[in-house]
Amino acid sequence: MNKTELCKQISLRMSVKPAEALRFISTLEEVFEDALLTDNSIVFQNFGTFSIWSQTEREGRNPKTGIPVTIKARNSVKFKPGKHLLKVLNK
């Protein structure tokens, strides 16, 4: 599902205009960014947790040439699903 499809689903389920659903999604993205930038986790009870994950610098290889390269350290986001979500997915 892409952002447009998500917008349509939210619009239908909440009985709001697609523009309002898009504004909601954009605001949610901003709130997530702000929370993760301040090194906070985002927890949705029974759904899951988004948290910052610091990847260390490591060696890798160029898949075309096989030449070793250094992959720089960076931050990424991890998602850990909650018990309810896992239960729904594994019925």
What is the predicted pLDDT for the residue at 39?
77
**52 and 80 fall within a common domain:** yes
* Cα dist from 57 to 31, 34, 83, whole Å: 28, 25, 32
Total domains in the fold of the chain: 2
| Structural domain that includes position 63 | 41-91
The rounded distance, in Å, linking the Cα atoms of 3 and 26 is 10
The rounded distance, in Å, linking the Cα atoms of 2 and 17 is 18
CATH number of 73's domain: 4.10.520.10
What is the predicted pLDDT for the residue at 43?
94
**73 and 88 fall within a common domain:** yes
Whether residue 56 contacts residue 50, with contact meaning beta carbons closer than 8 Å, is answered with no
pLDDT tens by residue, 4-28: 999 999 999 999 999 999 999 999 9
**Which residues of the chain are modeled with pLDDT < 50?**
none
**4 and 23 fall within a common domain:** yes
pTM of the model: 0.76
**2 and 21 fall within a common domain:** yes
